[in-house]
Amino acid sequence: MKRSRLFLQLLILAGCGLIVYLLFHPELFVAPSGDHDQNLLTANEARVAQPAPELTVRPTYRSSIDCGQRTPQALALDGEQLVVAYRRLNLVDFFAASGERLAFFDPFPRGEMNISSLYVDDQGQLYITDFANRSLLMFDAQRNFRHFFPSGQGTAAARPQLPVSLRGSDKLLVVADLGDNTVKSYLPQGEYVLSLSQEASGTPEPWHPFDVALTDDGRILVSDIRGKKILAFSCAGKFAYAFADPDKGDGPQKPGSMAIDSLGRVHLVDSGSHQIFVYDNFGRFLFTYGRLGSIGTGMRVPTAIAIDTEKNLVYIADSGNRQIDVWSLPE
């Protein structure tokens, strides 16, 4: 009996010691996941500081690429080539930065498409989001149709219902799905990873995720066209923060497509105010550029954006003026 009591007391003491140790070492509760949580903490702290001067330098208008009678709706970059898709046309064009049309192809001639987004991965594979037919199509580097994405998914919850946008990296592909108002993540081979829902953001109001972007440190950015804001999540789906509104003036009215430049700034297309909102890497508002108009810096209902971080060029699908506006970023 005494031995049993002594053994029990030792167990209690050991347990108390373990609890105290874990209280002072909370990192042991968390499975290894890189530096993402630390990055989120750093991001929240950095939003209090003033942005570096180079972050506040605005792009300058350079030129426009005439699209004729076609209405540009989606943009992507394939190396040095600009990839363009048009509203309700089975056509994808490839342009040089000078505006020269280099090539084109019909992505899927079986029925009318409405291409809402384009994405080209590091292997040159092209992903097309077809809003009209509720599908994602994948083409190889020679523009041969491979399969619908994702392929071989067993559950309805893992498949996009009404995909509107797809972005990616070498490790992850992320889809904004207006069918069930979620953001779905996949491995490049198509294996389903997780979904982000309105509940994950902690916001009481329903959201409509319209576009997604991936930062270098793994954060997932979501433009919510209903909530009129950008939300940031960790790669594990943990909500981090919402992007800040301007101190003066109105915020985005219809936030849509996003792109990230070489300084880590997030450029957000706002078709409602006919301009581009720019934020730093931590969600602080910096400035806007563009205005309602048809000449020079003017734009009308912009719908998409792509940034060449090597040449520091910004391409904007100026759908109302049926052209691609080209802006230069500071070197």
- Assign residue 73 the CATH number of its domain: 2.120.10.30
pTM for the predicted model, two decimal places: 0.85
- At residue 225, the pLDDT reads 95
User: How big is the CA angle at 156 (ends 136 and 126), to the nearest 5 degrees?
Assistant: 15
222: in domain: yes
| Per-residue model confidence as pLDDT tens for the chain (331 residues) | 444 444 444 443 344 343 333 333 333 333 334 444 444 545 555 555 678 888 999 999 999 999 999 999 999 999 999 999 999 999 999 999 889 999 999 987 667 899 999 999 999 999 999 999 999 999 999 999 999 998 765 577 788 999 999 999 999 999 999 999 999 999 998 899 999 998 887 777 889 999 999 999 999 999 999 999 999 999 889 999 999 988 888 899 999 999 999 999 999 999 999 999 999 999 999 999 999 998 889 999 999 999 999 999 999 999 999 999 999 998 7
pLDDT at 261: 97
pLDDT at res. 248: 82
> DSSP letter at 172?
-
Q: Are 155 and 125 in contact (CB under 8 A)?
A: no
Give ∠ CA 248-254-316 in degrees, rounded to 5: 95
Q: What is the reported pLDDT for 97?
A: 87
Distance CA 41, CA 1 (A): 52
Judge whether 20 lies within some domain.
no
Among 155, 191, 154, 152, CA closest to 172: 191
The C-alpha atoms of residue 123 and residue 45 are separated, in whole angstroms, by 37
Looking at residue 31, what is its pLDDT? Answer: 36
Print the domain residue range for 313.
Answer: 54-328
Residue 161 lies inside a defined structural domain of this protein: yes
The structural domain count of the chain equals 1
Q: Which amino acid is at 317?
A: A
Q: Which residues of 222-237 are buried (b: 16+ CB within 10 A; e: fewer)?
A: bbbbebbbbbbbbbbe
Alpha-helical regions (H) of the chain: 2-23, 36-46, 198-201
Structure tokens, 318? 């100026």
Structure tokens at 307: 């940034």
Is residue 301 in some structural domain? Answer: yes
Amino acid, single-letter form, for residue 307: I
Determine, yes or no, domain membership for 73.
yes
| Dist. CA 47–CA 241, nearest whole Å | 11
Question: 309, 281 in Cβ contact below 8 A?
Answer: no
Pairing of strands 192-196, 182-186: antiparallel
In a domain, 2, yes or no: no
**For position 249, what pLDDT does the model report?**
81
* Residues forming beta bridges with residue 305, ordered by sequence position: 316
Residue 22 counted as domain residue: no
> Is residue 42, in this structure, part of any structural domain at all?
no
